[in-house]
Copies of this chain bind each other. A is one copy, B any other.
Amino acid sequence: MEATAQEVDAAVLAAHAARGALADRTVRAAFLRSAADGLDAARDGLVETADAETALGPVRLTGELARTSYQLRAFAGIVDEGAFLDVVINHPDDTATPPVPDLRRYKVPLGVVAVYSASNFPFAFSVAGGDTASALAAGCPVVVKAHPDHPALSELVAKVLRRAAAHHGIPEGVVGLVHGFTAGIELIMHPQVAAAGFTGSVRGGRALFDAAAARPVPIPFHGELGSLNPVLVTEAAVAERAEAIGAGLAGSMTLGVGQFCVKPGLVLVPSGAAGDRLVKSLTDAVSDTAAGVLLDHRMRDNFVAGVEERARLADVDSPVTPGAGGEHTVSAGFLTVPAARLTEEGAYDLLLEECFGPVSVVARYADEAEASAVLSRLPGNLTATVQVSAEEAAGQGRGPELLASLTPLAGRVVVNAWPTGVAVAPAQHHGGPYPATTSTSTSVGGTAIERWLRPVAYQNAPTALLPAELKDENPLGLPRRFNGVLER
């Protein structure tokens, strides 16, 4: 099953050979829509296979598949509109210093993109997921490294994509698929691979990032690695909504057995009676949560060991003890710790690292300065959340400073809601300072397409030779910047 070096090479060369067939935007958009239709049509078989391989359950998987085909169609719309081409046209200008010749710029596809699938999203961050959808939308063929947790599903999904490609006269090699750890390394080193997308662990992602950077010709590596996703509950918020916040947190941290990269992993709660009420509410709600199955046994082992190591620290309590549930399951829980323990480097830094699975750390803070001190020590995050009071939401008290203080921490700042649930939308940003991502890009939402493009400018090119996208008369009706003016 594991691809040999020759098989990886063949997959990359086949993808490279298919890139010309993706050049036409109309064909590309139609291909993406056919792929979405193909996934929807194959739903029952796909969900069954995915459930057999991952135990995520048909409800979650059916929803994730719907998200995946929705995402493919959203990128088809982005391809049609063409704003991502970033067309800029300058006619000659002798008044500039130095004078400007005729210059016309737009973006072209980078080439073959290597996509590394995630374990926890067998559809939405795997073979037909956001990396693949955005790369194909940009005009880049892909070679996907399947995740070992769902190899059969990966093959089925690749088949759906290839059938859709063939339907539009695109060679099936436009979506390559390889299995195996070594194949993943071969892939990132292949000279014809021009960029990579990755969703997974800090350790695995950093190893691939390092390999991408060390190539004779380094390539962009867009990895989404890990995130603690801190939550700050203000004094005013807990005074107002302690129980609701506790229950909401329980729902978010246990959703999908805590296997989301945006699971809230550290929650700063004021010490005192109101904070105690939040913890009580959280205790009740988490206690009521049924045990669940993690994606694979390695994750279960890591979860159990990670929780035990954390719980062993002095001053760490477990109002609801997370850990091994039944033979295959784990039970949700949370730990508490005085925030003062987290303000300086030491053994407690373990509590500032992501622990994949249904556990959160509730740090009780004495005052704002202590909470800020903890936040200032965090590495980069995908999300940062703040729970505020009605008055703060209206701009009173600490309100005005809160967004600005959380912005340096994360790529998405959530107010009075929870970070789990990552909508597919133009304004989405699913990324953040390292290690949340290895670049400044997003892996979800319309702007994810920017990762797979590079600009090129044409100077003094005769109209007859220009691509239609760059002609003055704008035959394709593209949004553009024309002699300084934004045209839509």
**Chain B residue nearest to A488 in the complex (CB):** B486
Question: Contacts of A484 on B, CB cut-off 8 Å?
Answer: 426
**Contact yes or no, A467 B103, CB < 8 A:** no
Taking the complex as formed, is A458 at the interface, i.e. its CB lies under 8 A from any CB of chain B?
Answer: yes
Could you tell me the distance in whole angstroms from the C-beta of A244 to the nearest C-beta in chain B? Answer: 15
Taking the complex as formed, is A300 at the interface, i.e. its CB lies under 8 A from any CB of chain B?
Answer: no
**Chain B residue nearest to A413 in the complex (CB):** B458
Taking the complex as formed, is A411 at the interface, i.e. its CB lies under 8 A from any CB of chain B?
Answer: yes
Give A411-455 as 1s and 0s: 1 = Cβ < 8 Å from B's Cβ atoms. Answer: 111111100010111111101011100111010001100000111
Asked if A403 meets B105 with Cβ closer than 8 Å, knowing A100-B423, A481-B426, the reply is: no
A486 to B486: give the CA distance in the assembly, Å. 10
Taking the complex as formed, is A146 at the interface, i.e. its CB lies under 8 A from any CB of chain B?
Answer: no
Question: Contacts of A379 on B, CB cut-off 8 Å?
Answer: 217
Count, chain A residues at interface, CB 8 A? 87
Question: Contacts of A431 on B, CB cut-off 8 Å?
Answer: 454-455
Taking the complex as formed, is A475 at the interface, i.e. its CB lies under 8 A from any CB of chain B?
Answer: no
Partner-binding segment picked from A63-71, A128-136, A232-240, A326-334 = A63-71
Question: Contacts of A429 on B, CB cut-off 8 Å?
Answer: 105, 455-457
A343 to B465: give the CA distance in the assembly, Å. 27
The 3 closest A-B CB pairs, nearest first, are A395-B464, A213-B213, A429-B457
A104 to B466: give the CA distance in the assembly, Å. 36
Taking the complex as formed, is A301 at the interface, i.e. its CB lies under 8 A from any CB of chain B?
Answer: no
Asked if A465 meets B103 with Cβ closer than 8 Å, knowing A70-B97, A424-B98, A440-B454, the reply is: no
A392 to B423: give the CA distance in the assembly, Å. 49
Taking A105-B429, A400-B465, A486-B488 as known contacts, 18 extra A-B pairs with beta carbons closer than 8 A to each other, sorted by chain A number, are A70-B96, A88-B447, A90-B423, A98-B421, A99-B423, A100-B425, A103-B428, A105-B447, A108-B407, A388-B462, A403-B458, A403-B466, A411-B455, A413-B456, A415-B459, A415-B460, A417-B460, A427-B481
Taking the complex as formed, is A365 at the interface, i.e. its CB lies under 8 A from any CB of chain B?
Answer: no
**Contact yes or no, B88 A427, CB < 8 A:** yes
Question: Contacts of A447 on B, CB cut-off 8 Å?
Answer: 86, 88, 105, 455
A465 to B407: give the CA distance in the assembly, Å. 12
Taking the complex as formed, is A83 at the interface, i.e. its CB lies under 8 A from any CB of chain B?
Answer: yes
Which residues of A are at the interface with B, using a C-beta cutoff of 8 A? 63, 66-67, 70, 83, 86, 88-90, 93, 96-101, 103-105, 108, 110, 209-210, 213-214, 217-218, 220, 379-380, 388, 392-395, 399-400, 402-404, 407, 410-417, 421, 423-429, 431, 433-435, 438-440, 442, 446-447, 453-462, 464-467, 479, 481, 484, 486-488
Could you tell me the distance in whole angstroms from the C-beta of A431 to the nearest C-beta in chain B? Answer: 7
**Contact yes or no, B424 A456, CB < 8 A:** no
**Contact yes or no, A97 B218, CB < 8 A:** no
Q: Which of A100, A395, A487 has the most CB of B within 10 A?
A: A100
**Contact yes or no, B427 A457, CB < 8 A:** yes
Could you tell me the distance in whole angstroms from the C-beta of A111 to the nearest C-beta in chain B? Answer: 8
Could you tell me the distance in whole angstroms from the C-beta of A217 to the nearest C-beta in chain B? Answer: 5
A65 to B305: give the CA distance in the assembly, Å. 62
